[in-house]
A and B are shown apart, each in its own frame.
Chain A
Amino acid sequence: MTTDQLTVRRAIDGDERALRQLWMENAPHIDAVVLRLCGDRDLAADIAQEVWIQIFRALPSYRGDSQFGTWAHRIAVNRSLNALRKVRRIAKIETDVEEETAAAPDDPAAESERSFMAQSIDQAVQRLSPGARTVFLLHDVEGYTHEEIAQELGITPGGSKSQLFKARAKLRRLLAHLADGFAGAGPSHATPF
């Protein structure tokens, strides 16, 4: 039995030290996932609490097939998306897909995009529409497949791919000023966990 499993067993019995240990060791990663998906720190703080309660409720279903962090990560993503739906942040993903068409050349939003210089990918991601942001984060950062995203968000895999394409294109523009720092970058492709 692994350390994770032993700790989980004690946590299931209501041992505070074990519960707290699981929280302490995994909160920096789990809460980062929640914050990424929410974008807003206050909202993320509320959702993170729900996430952790859900993780602890679900402990008896942890079988030790994967690391505890990986298992909890999945719960964090699902719970965050559910919570965001409730606050209507991603209620109309498919609508976003339709509305996320290329902006007209004289569109004020496009002008604003040109003048905005994100200092990090985190900042740039906040400039994406809720739908594009969610698809990008789930696919490129969290490692979900388009099929899984489609199921999770109630859209088609094609819609997910389309959103991802547009999200990446926009991010490349928003982060264009960082290009100099990446001159000579070797071929490295982002791969899921």
Chain B
Amino acid sequence: MPLPSKELSEQALDALIVRERTRIVAPLTEWRTLALQLRDEGLLRAPGDPRGAERGARTDAPPQPRVTPRERIGWIAPAARWTMRIAASAALVAVGIIAGRGMTVGNDIAHTIQMAIADSSDVSHVRVGGAPYGSAEEARTALVKSESEYQRAAAYLAATDTAARTAASPQVLQDRLAALDEVTVTALKALRDAPDDPLLNQYYLSAVSAREATIQRLSHSLPADARVVRF
């Protein structure tokens, strides 16, 4: 069988390469895991220690085994895991809201995030009596399951929903990218004040992930001589 004569031009390949250079991903590491190792190596000041860290000096605490990202779920304390799951669900819903609305006005983003945070943190409206769960553990299990299901469904739709993909014009994607840019910046600013806030962390990570996916889609919808400028 002869080789197909059709090839991507050198210029078109170069255009794809330029876009690839600007690609970003959601962080592959987690700060808690990194901090554990940094503290173990004496690179991170112990909490409450006003003095500068002595680089390379070991702390008095016994050395802790290195925790790889794959092990991090097991490392996080159960209470923190529970909090993070709630936060992750709220963040996923919030990002879903943002994506679903196809936002074009930056001011809407902050409002949506504020509302989502308020909704997720206000538990006064939760009706406990008559709840379909027999125990907190049962509710946690259901939450984890639904969160996992949500992520699978979102991934499936992202990969297969060609109708939605083709419906999104470059302009819509650019608007979405601009919106996600602002979400990322806003979350980053908030994290500087509250670096340990799990909800803010999840907003940031979700926004970065959504941003990456949008850039990928945008790279297929723009003509080769157009450039994604918001990075």
Contacts and interface: CB of A to CB of B under 8 A. Distances in A.
A131 to B, nearest CB: 18
A120 interface: yes
A148 interface: no
Nearest to B26: A28
Contacts of A105: 1, 3
A30 B223 CA distance: 27
A62 B199 CA distance: 33
Q: Chain B, interface size: which category?
A: 35 or more
B6 A179 contact: yes
Interface string A31-56: 11011100001101110110011001
A178 B219 CA distance: 11
Interface in A66-99: none
A143 to B, nearest CB: 8
B20 A122 contact: yes
Interface residues of A, number: 61
A51 to B, nearest CB: 8
Contacts of B44: 14, 16, 19
Contacts of B140: none
A35 B25 contact: yes
A1 interface: no
Interface of B: 1, 3-4, 6-21, 23-29, 31, 33-35, 37-38, 41-45, 47, 49, 52-53, 55, 68-70, 188, 191-192, 195, 204, 208, 216, 219-220, 223-225
9 contacts: A14-B45, A14-B49, A23-B31, A36-B20, A114-B3, A121-B20, A168-B10, A182-B223, A186-B11
Sort A-B residue pairs by CB-CB distance and give the 10 closest, nearest first: A14-B53, A14-B45, A185-B224, A182-B12, A28-B24, A27-B27, A13-B52, A190-B14, A48-B28, A45-B69
